[in-house]
């Protein structure tokens, strides 16, 4: 893989690549100063504006807690009811573009230059993709979602996907799994892939800072260093922060329910707040320990526990039914996909608004985090690596910014999750994920055009490269 230039943190590609000729230096708009023993190196507008907006949001929500819940509820309902078509169309575009890049000659462009070698095997890469991309959400919805869709489909309620399958247990089971896989398969991964590919190409191949604004250079040119670029990065920071806060809130709700079931502990808001504080403290220790000593170690533990859980379910559960059901569920997903992805003339609006629209907004708000993780950090857990991702954007693309900045963002991820939990619970979490996902969806759609323009300029490698030994 291409290596960073130690002087300005820009990337030097291996082999041929279409570098962008710009006088901009990474960090030139940053403010570097010390507060006591703590060093800071922040982008003078992105950090300050996004940080101030988060502080104002926290203050308003806490001061007007009674009024916050109905506001969050109405915001979520309005966005999911009126902009469902937009989120559906946007994610369909991401899927079609991703498939188009795979089958076209643009899919042969090598990240890092024509002579770049992969740092990881396919197996390791897929493992890291799973750890970064799914996180808490899969644990929270992995069982409850298919059961919810199955029940609604079998009973023929208004919440059933695609009009349900009343009285037909087998058809309801297949439909429930298809409706669930729809939210966790092609569409979220295509959303992640588009942004991650844009970040990788414009950083590793074209030598620009590792921030979302860099993707827009073919469209905006040198204006990405001005206010158009500031707005893009601010939206990326806010979308990432609230997307992470949503996942953190979901985890707290699930953990509180599990502890209540096993040990009889309280399940109220107080317990959820304590759990968020606890996981934030663990994330802070990881952040201060550094990438290799902290984040990577927690990630390896995380993936190992997930693998043990999967093996336990397969061995202890109905093994044959699980294995055969896997292939049947994939077939059900493929056959139902055109109908599930169609935003026109749908009668199952409860399913589309309550599930699909929220998911697409959540994945979109999560995409800057996953995108930068896949480009730089790789093998990570959500909360601690999230602060690294946000800080990279808020530091103007510097991937080695001072630790106190990451501590700031890590703390505020926990604070925002707590405030949303106090201000409306899961409804508030969903409302902010959708609210920040909408403007960033527009950013992602425009980035599709810029990504294609950037890829078309890149040379293609003459032959496949072997995996780098590491």
Assign residue 179 a region: left if phi > 0, alpha if psi is -120 to 50, beta otherwise? alpha
Beta bridge partners of residue 164, listed in sequence order? none
CA dihedral of residues 82, 85, 88, 90 (deg, nearest 10): -100
Coil, helix or strand for 157? coil
Name the more confident of 262 and 6: 262
Residue (of 288, 265, 292, 311) closest to 376 by Cα position: 292
Instruction: Give the integer Cα–Cα distance in Å for 182 and 364.
Output: 15
pLDDT per residue as tens digits for the range 53-97: 988 988 888 888 888 888 888 988 898 889 999 999 999 999 999
Residues in the chain: 470
Name the more confident of 166 and 407: 166
Q: Among the listed ranges 166-180, 277-291, 401-415, which one has the minimum average pLDDT value?
A: 277-291
Q: Residue 192's pLDDT is what? A: 92
pLDDT per residue as tens digits for the range 187-241: 999 999 999 999 999 999 999 998 999 999 999 999 999 999 999 999 999 998 8
Q: How many CB atoms lie within 10 A of CB 329?
A: 18
Exposure b/e, 104-127, CB count within 10 A at least 16 = b = eebeebbbbbbebebebeeeeeeb
Q: Residue 296's pLDDT is what? A: 57
Share of the chain above pLDDT 70, in %: 86
Q: Residue 381's pLDDT is what? A: 46
Rounded mean pLDDT, 429-451: 92
Q: What is the DSSP string of 13-74?
A: -SS----------TTTTEEEEEETTEEEEEETTHHHHHHHHHHHHHHHHHHTHHHHHHHHHH
Q: Residue 469's pLDDT is what? A: 46
Highest mean pLDDT (candidates 17-26, 263-272, 439-448): 439-448
pLDDT at 302 over 60: yes
Q: Residue 377's pLDDT is what? A: 58
pLDDT per residue as tens digits for the range 118-177: 776 676 666 666 666 676 677 778 888 999 999 999 999 999 999 899 999 999 999 999
Q: From residue 466, how far is each of 72, 115, 128, 212 by CA, in Å?
A: 51, 10, 20, 30
Q: From residue 66, how far is each of 58, 71, 240, 273, 423 by CA, in Å?
A: 14, 10, 26, 18, 7
Q: Among the listed ranges 11-25, 34-48, 243-257, 366-380, which one has the minimum average pLDDT value?
A: 366-380
Q: How many CB atoms lie within 10 A of CB 389?
A: 29
Burial of 166 (0-12, 13-18, 19+ CB in 10 A): middle
Positive or negative: CA dihedral 295, 298, 301, 302: negative
Place of tokens 């206010």: 227
How does the average pLDDT of the chain come out, rounded?
Answer: 85
Place of tokens 């997307």: 243
pLDDT at 278 over 70: yes
Rounded mean pLDDT, 292-316: 74
- Biggest alpha carbon distance in the chain? 68
Binned at pLDDT 50, 70 and 90, residue 300 comes out as: low
Binned at pLDDT 50, 70 and 90, residue 249 comes out as: confident
Coil, helix or strand for 4? strand
Q: How many CB atoms lie within 10 A of CB 433?
A: 30
User: Are 389 and 238 within 8 A, CB to CB?
Assistant: no
Coil, helix or strand for 345? coil
Q: Which two tokens stand for residue 107?
A: 């899919």
Q: Residue 400's pLDDT is what? A: 76
Binned at pLDDT 50, 70 and 90, residue 291 comes out as: low
Q: Residue 120's pLDDT is what? A: 66
DSSP structure class, residue 443: H
Q: Residue 6's pLDDT is what? A: 46
* Predicted model pTM: 0.88
| Helix H or strand E segment including 96 | helix 84-103
Q: Residue 112's pLDDT is what? A: 87
Q: Residue 297's pLDDT is what? A: 62
Beta bridge partners of residue 38, listed in sequence order? 35
Binned at pLDDT 50, 70 and 90, residue 2 comes out as: low
Instruction: Give the integer Cα–Cα distance in Å for 293 and 119.
Output: 19
Residue (of 41, 36, 8, 33) closest to 23 by Cα position: 8
pLDDT at 301 over 80: no
Q: Residue 438's pLDDT is what? A: 92
Q: What are phi and psi of 60, to 5 degrees?
A: -65, -45
Burial of 282 (0-12, 13-18, 19+ CB in 10 A): middle
Q: How many CB atoms lie within 10 A of CB 143?
A: 12
Place of tokens 């996981």: 279
Binned at pLDDT 50, 70 and 90, residue 451 comes out as: very high
């Amino acid at each position: 893989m291409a290596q960073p230039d130690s002087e300005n943190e820009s990337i030097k590609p291996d082999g041929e690549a279409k570098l962008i000729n710009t006088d901009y230096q990474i960090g030139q708009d940053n403010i570097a100063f010390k507060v006591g023993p703590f060093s800071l190196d922040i982008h003078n507008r992105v950090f300050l504006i996004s940080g101030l907006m988060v502080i104002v949001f926290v203050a308003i929500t806490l001061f007007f807690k009674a009024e916050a819940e109905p506001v969050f509820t109405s915001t979520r309902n309005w966005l999911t009811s009126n902009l469902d078509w937009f989120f559906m169309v946007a994610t369909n575009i991401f899927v079609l573009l991703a498939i188009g890049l795979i089958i076209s000659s643009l899919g042969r462009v090598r990240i890092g230059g024509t002579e770049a070698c992969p740092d990881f095997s396919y197996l390791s890469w897929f493992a890291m993709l799973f750890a970064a991309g799914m996180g808490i959400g899969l644990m929270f919805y992995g069982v409850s979602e298919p059961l919810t869709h199955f029940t609604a489909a079998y009973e023929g309620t208004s919440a059933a996907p695609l009009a349900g399958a009343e009285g037909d247990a087998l058809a309801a089971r297949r439909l429930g799994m298809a409706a669930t896989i729809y939210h966790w398969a092609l569409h979220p991964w295509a959303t992640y892939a588009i942004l991650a590919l844009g970040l990788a190409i414009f950083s590793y191949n074209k030598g620009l800072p590792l921030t979302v604004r860099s993707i827009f250079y073919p469209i905006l040119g040198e204006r990405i260093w001005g206010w158009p670029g500031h707005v893009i990065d601010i939206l990326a920071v806010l979308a990432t922060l609230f997307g992470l806060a949503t996942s953190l809130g979901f985890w707290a709700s699930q953990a509180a329910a599990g502890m209540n079931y096993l040990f009889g502990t309280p399940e109220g808001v107080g317990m959820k707040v304590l759990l968020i504080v606890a996981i934030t403290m663990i994330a802070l220790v990881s952040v201060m320990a550094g990438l290799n000593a902290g984040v990577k170690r927690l990630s390896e533990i995380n993936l190992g526990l997930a693998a043990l859980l999967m093996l336990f379910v397969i061995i202890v559960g109905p093994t044959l039914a699980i294995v055969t059901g896997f292939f049947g569920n994939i077939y059900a997903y493929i056959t139902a996909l055109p109908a599930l992805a169609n935003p026109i003339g749908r009668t199952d609006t409860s399913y589309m608004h309550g599930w699909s629209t929220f998911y697409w907004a959540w994945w979109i708000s999560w995409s800057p985090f996953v995108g930068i993780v896949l480009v730089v950090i790789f093998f990570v857990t959500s909360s601690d690596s999230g602060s690294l991702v946000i800080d990279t954007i808020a530091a103007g693309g510097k991937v080695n910014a001072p630790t106190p900045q990451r501590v700031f963002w890590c703390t505020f991820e926990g604070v925002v999750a707590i405030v949303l939990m106090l201000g409306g619970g899961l409804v508030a979490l969903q409302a902010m994920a959708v609210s920040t996902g909408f403007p960033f969806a527009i950013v992602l759609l425009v980035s599709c055009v810029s990504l294609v323009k950037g890829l078309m300029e890149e040379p293609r490698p003459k032959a496949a490269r072997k995996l780098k030994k590491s």
